[in-house]
Amino acid sequence: MDLIDKLNLSPDTILKVIDEYTLYSYYTEIKNLETRTSYLSPLRGEHRGSWSFFECNSNLYEFWWKDSGNGKDGNIFDLIINLYPDLKTYSDACLKIGQDFDIGFNYSLDFKRVLKIDRPKFKQASKIGIKSRPFNDKDLNFWRKLSVKEKQLQKYNVEVPEYIWYNTIYNKEELPEVVSEICFSYRIGKYYQIYKPFNKARKFRNDFPSNYVFGYIQLPETGDRLIIDKSFKDIIFCDVLNYNAISPKSENTLIPDFIMNNLLLRFKTVFIMLDNDEAGKNATEKYLQLYPTLIPIFLEEAKDKTDLCLLKGFDYTKHTLQTLL
C-alpha cells in the first residue's frame, strides 16, 4: 500500500500501464466483452440486459459505458466508483486499481499497456435503411389517440417501414426484415430511428450519430419556451399543443454542449421534462449540473405526457401542461 501511495497514481498513469479494455473486462467480469452489445448490468440486478460499452470520440478515453436501466454512464473510472460504494473519487478508483493489479515501483510508467487482455473483433456501427409504404388506418389510429394528424407526421419525417435493412445501406441484394407489426421510422437526413411501440424487446433502434437531436431542424429561430423531452413521439405531441421541443437520440445521451448553449440563447425559457422514473431523474440531474437555468418538470400521474394523454385524455393533458408550463 505504501508503494501505491508514493506512486501517486492518476487516470493518466493508470492507462499508461493498463489498457481500458482490460479494466472493463476485469471489473465487469464479462468474458469476451464486445461493444454495442447489451449485458446484464454489473451495477445492479436485472433480468434483461441494459448495460453496454462502446467506443467514444474522446482524447482521454477509448470507451464509454451506459446503463440504460438507471440512466448512469461514464468512463472506466466512473464505472469502478459505481461498482464500489466506498469509492468516491477518481483517486480512490486509481488506488483500487493499484491494489488489484499490484502496481508499484516494479512497473515502469514508460511502458504503455503492459497489462492487456486480448480483445475480440468489435462490432461495427450499424446502418439502417428502409423502404416505406403509405400510412393505413391502423397506423394513423395509433397517432389519432394522441390527436396527432398527418401534417405533424410529415413535418417530422415519420414514415411506415415496409422493409428494414440493418448494417447496410438499402441494397436489393441484402435480405431485409419484413415488417409485420406497428412500426414507424423517424428520419434525420440519411439516418433513422426505428420505433416499434408494442415490441418490448426491440422497441427502439437507431443509427444516429451522438450529436443528432430529434426535432432540432423543425425549431423556429427564436421562441419563448422550449422543452427538452425524451423521445420523438413526445416531440410530435408537443407540436400538437404548439410547444417547441427537442430530444437527444436517447434519454441517457445528453444533448451536445454546443447545441445546448445555442438553444439557451435562442429561447427565453428552457424546460426539461423527462420520465418520472430513476433513469429520467438521473438524466435530469446531469443536465441541471451543466445548465442550472433549466427548469425541471415531472408529471405525477404518468411517466410522460403521451402516457398521460392515453390515461386521462387530450384535454386533461393539455390543461395539465398549460398549468405546469
Q: What pLDDT shows up at residue 197?
A: 92
Q: What pLDDT shows up at residue 123?
A: 58
Q: What pLDDT shows up at residue 168?
A: 53
Q: What pLDDT shows up at residue 176?
A: 83
Contact 271, 305 (CB under 8 A): no
Q: Average pLDDT of each block of 10 consecutive residues along the chain (325 residues)?
A: 56 85 92 84 85 76 85 90 93 89 58 56 72 95 96 95 75 73 92 90 80 91 94 94 91 82 94 88 88 94 92 95 92
- For the chain, the domains span 2-100, 125-208, 212-325
Q: What pLDDT shows up at residue 125?
A: 60
Q: Is the dihedral of CA 307, 308, 311, 314 positive or negative?
A: negative
DSSP code of residue 218: G
Nearest to 115 by CA among 103, 123, 133: 103
Distance, in Å, from the CA atom of 244 to the CA atom of 226, rounded to the nearest integer, reads: 5
Return the residue matching grid coordinates 427538452: 228
Contact 5, 47 (CB under 8 A): no
Distance, in Å, from the CA atom of 214 to the CA atom of 188, rounded to the nearest integer, reads: 8
Q: What pLDDT shows up at residue 104?
A: 60
CATH number, domain 212-325, options 3.40.1360.10, 3.30.70.120, 1.10.3720.10, 3.30.9.10: 3.40.1360.10
Q: What pLDDT shows up at residue 154?
A: 94
Q: pTM, whole model, 2 decimals? A: 0.67
Output b/e per residue, 116-139; b: 16+ Cβ within 10 A: eeebeeeeeeeebbbebeebeeeb
Q: What pLDDT shows up at residue 1?
A: 43
Distance, in Å, from the CA atom of 299 to the CA atom of 273, rounded to the nearest integer, reads: 8
